[in-house]
Amino acid sequence: MVTGIRINDKSRCTEICTGTNCIYVCPVGLFTLSDGELVFHEEGPCLECGACRLVCDNIIFDYPPAGEGVLHRYG
Amino acid sequence: MAKNFRNTGEKYYQVIVIGAGMAGITAAYFLAKAGIEVLLLERGPYPGSKSISGGAVYSLPTRELLPDFWEEAPFERVLVDQQYWLMAERSAVKLGFTSLEMDNEPYNRLSIMRAVFDRWYAEKAVSAGAELLNSCKAEDLICENGRVSGVRASGSRQGDIRAGMVILAQGANPILAERAGLIKKTGASDMSLYVKEIIAFPEEVINERFNLTGNRGAVIGLLGEATAGLPGTGSIYTFKEHVGINVGVGVKTLTCKKLKISELIATLKGHPMVEPLLRGGTTVEYLAHMIPEGGFNAMPPLVFDGMVITGDSGGLVNGTHGINLAMYSGKFAADTALEAINRRDYSRRVLRGYRKKLEKSFILKDMRANREVPGLFQKNPTLFADYIGLVNSVSTHLSMVYPVSSRVKRKFIRHVVLNKQPLGKLLTDALKAVRVFR
């Protein structure tokens, strides 16, 4: 799955960020900590909620390309 | 109706609506009905493919826009049973109201699934003459000469599409308007994040567990421990062969408390009062969505030269009500667009009529009246949890039969109450609440 999300400057995650807000708000855990380092799983099943974009200005959020991304069968 | 072509050869629409959710479809439907050339853009492969809501439409307001819609709209159950559970860790005070009056037309609440409902609704707009483009994403607003004059699209149609005006119905993340510098990003304290699971059951199991017959349904609002005592709500909705459970709290709350939203719903599903309702079901969908909950004070400007903002994009949510506000704002946007088309003037001066219509309706009247509610919870985050804890412990003692006289028991309960909430705090909290809830 293609997300529209990217991290602007990865070095900020390791060098400056102390909050790791992204890992708490992402409902599918696209942001995880591995040995104290932030890993962004860009192939993960993003639900397109947009919460990550509100908690970190280093996250550039866009929706996936037209026709792609999460598909609700029920909603 | 004559088609308007610009000299570039590209097709020109009177109105482009971005987003086929409740607000966008409503706007497109009413414009198409009035014979307007309207283009409805949906970035997903079908309308509803990105939509989500707790699960119900309110039939009385909806039928004002779509008379007798229940005869053709795909709804799941007629909600006749409405409960609120004030939950503690191992107890819950349950308030409920069941009315079979609501089982008759025009009903009150009907549970719906948005992936199904929105698809039906969009087809209705298409039948009325709207042009729907699925898998077409608006990448940018085209802003020329200080006004919005179209969209830059990708997907099933590529490139610039121009229009007299744009109705933005992009949902809770109005990134197009942000990117164009027209509005600011909503703050994390003004948005809540909800997750929802849809769990499949045989129809009889749902009827048995929720004490229902036929296509009657129940909705349970979950408060208190449901959100780990944080300001927010949960709810359980019954559908024909599914039960939906959702829970949400403020985005800022999650980061402050270092709480994962996925853990919140897992804990709620395991709550001793909730687990028996969901036991044995199969989760068939897991969804997430943000809801603008900052209320009136957090609304962005809604009217621009060549554009109005509707629904969630405009922060038009009042408490647990969103769909109504979205639909009505879509209708008002369509009505305003008609005025603009008649006057051949899409400037802010004419489009301001949209804001006036919102002001005159229940939408902004209610949102204005409740404007202090979000602030009350931001300033007193434990307000709900404190009192829900209190009513649970009082209920426990009321319910327990002790080997003491009633007089001693009453005194004891008074002691329990004042121990948790001193008299002065009780009074000031009550006063705060009275001032804020109108």
The proportion of chain B whose per-residue pLDDT surpasses 90, expressed as a percent, equals 90
Q: Is residue B100 part of a domain?
A: yes
Q: Final residue of a domain: which of B343, B369, B395?
A: B369
Using a CB-CB distance cutoff of 8 angstroms, which residues of chain B are in contact with residue A67? Answer: 43-45, 134-135, 155-156
Residues B201 and B85 in one domain: yes
Q: Is residue B105 part of a domain?
A: yes
- Give the pLDDT confidence score for residue B345 in this predicted structure: 98
Helices (H), B21-134: 22-33, 59-65, 114-127
Provide mean pLDDT across the span B177-204. 97
Determine the Cα–Cα distance for residues A16 and B149; give it in Å rounded to an integer. 41
B365 Cβ contact partners less than 8 Å away, ≥ 6 residues apart: B359
- How many Å from the N-terminal Cα to the C-terminal Cα in chain A? 19
Tell which CATH architecture fits domain A5-61: 2-Layer Sandwich (3.30)
Q: H or E stretch including A3?
A: none
Chunked into runs of 10 residues, chain A (75 residues) has average pLDDT values of 89 91 96 92 94 97 97 97
Structural domain of B276: 75-111+187-296
Is the pTM value of this prediction over 0.90? yes
**pLDDT tens, residue by residue, B65-118:** 999 999 999 999 999 999 999 999 999 999 999 999 999 999 999 999 999 999
Residues B201 and B252 in one domain: yes
Using a CB-CB distance cutoff of 8 angstroms, which residues of chain B are in contact with residue A17? Answer: none
Quick one: DSSP state of residue B298? G
Residues B41 and B157 in one domain: yes
CB atoms within 10 A of CB B355: 18
ipTM of the complex: 0.96
Contact: A67, B156; criterion CB under 8 Å: yes
Contact: B51, A75; criterion CB under 8 Å: yes
Contact (CB, 8 A) for B88 and B225 = yes
Burial annotation B198-232 (CB, 10 A radius, 16+ → b, else e) = bbbbebebbbebbebeebbbbbbbbbbbbbbbbbb
Q: Is residue B67 part of a domain?
A: no
Q: Which of B194, B198, B267 lies closest to B229, judged by CA?
A: B267
Residues B100 and B142 in one domain: no
Q: Which of B223, B250, B29, B5 lies closest to B122, judged by CA?
A: B29
Provide mean pLDDT across the span B226-247. 97
Domain CATH code at residue B271? 3.30.9.90
Residues B14 and B129 in one domain: yes
Contact: B255, A29; criterion CB under 8 Å: no
Q: Final residue of a domain: which of B320, B349, B369?
A: B369
Residues B103 and B238 in one domain: yes
Residues B139 and B47 in one domain: yes
Quick one: DSSP state of residue B301? P
Q: How many domains are there within chain B? A: 3
| Domain boundaries, given as residue ranges, for chain A | 5-61
**pLDDT tens, residue by residue, B267-311:** 999 999 999 999 999 999 999 999 999 999 999 999 999 999 999
CB atoms within 10 A of CB B328: 25
- Give the pLDDT confidence score for residue B438 in this predicted structure: 62
CB atoms within 10 A of CB B342: 9
Residues B10 and B117 in one domain: yes
- Give the pLDDT confidence score for residue B7 in this predicted structure: 46
Backbone dihedral region for residue B214 (phi beyond 0: left; psi -120 to 50: alpha; all else: beta): left
User: For chain B, how big is the Rg over CA atoms in Å?
Assistant: 24
How confident is residue B3, by pLDDT bands cut at 50, 70 and 90? very low
- Give the pLDDT confidence score for residue B436 in this predicted structure: 81
